[in-house]
Amino acid sequence: MSAPGADHVLPLREGAVSGPPRGASIIAQIKKANIEYVLSVPDQHTSVGLLYPIAADRDLRLIRVCKEDECFGIAAGLTYGNIRSLILVQYTGFLYAANAIRGVPCEQKLPQSKKFGLRIIEPILDAMGIQHTSIETEDDVPKISGLIDAAWRESRPQAIILGGRPEAK
């Protein structure tokens, strides 16, 4: 018997033995999915591996916000302009912004893609009906662009959970 919401979880690839996800690989997948904007609060967990390289990348625009819930309204506006964005927050920011997540991408059925740290939020994502996938190793990173594309194709939110700190390579 599967847990409630288990149908919303895409399994990790079996036999994955590579190291932690590399920031450069994640950024390549973000670009492959035609993401133009990345929205985030300052974040020590992903700064070296993701936020600093994203800020320096000429193909991506980083929008730094003060509070996590601001990301969801900004991303909604970009979506209505047919502009793809990615929200990057830690799990505590997800918990803080839960009402904004429920009210904007879930209620409005918007194709917002989000990256969160830590798998502790999976039961909450299940309860909200948000499909989610964990990126634990470098072997999992190629899933990212397809997940973002599916969110846009199906007009639904999608959460990508980073299981660890991305390496700065």
Nearest-angstrom CA–CA distance, 65 and 55: 14
Q: Are 93 and 68 in contact (CB under 8 A)?
A: yes
Q: What is the pLDDT of residue 119?
A: 64
- Grade residue 41 by pLDDT with cuts at 50, 70 and 90: confident
Supply the pTM of this predicted model: 0.80
Q: Enumerate the domain spans of the chain.
A: 19-162
Q: What is the pLDDT of residues 134-160, one digit of tens each?
A: 888 999 999 999 999 999 999 988 888
Nearest-angstrom CA–CA distance, 157 and 108: 10
Q: What is the pLDDT of residues 75-109, one digit of tens each?
A: 999 999 999 999 988 877 788 877 787 777 777 77
**Following DSSP, what letter does each residue of 48-104 receive, concatenated?**
IIIIHHHHH-TT-EEEE-SSHHHHHHHHHHHHHTT--EEEE--HHHHHHTHHHHIII
Choose which CATH entry (3.60.21.10, 2.60.40.2550, 1.10.3300.10, 3.40.50.970) describes domain 19-162.
3.40.50.970
For residue 16, pLDDT over 60 is answered with no
Of 55 and 46, more confident: 55
- SS3 label, residue 165: coil
Of 17 and 36, more confident: 36
Q: What is the pLDDT of residue 11?
A: 45
Q: What is the pLDDT of residue 34?
A: 96
Q: What percent of the chain is modeled with pLDDT above 70? A: 85
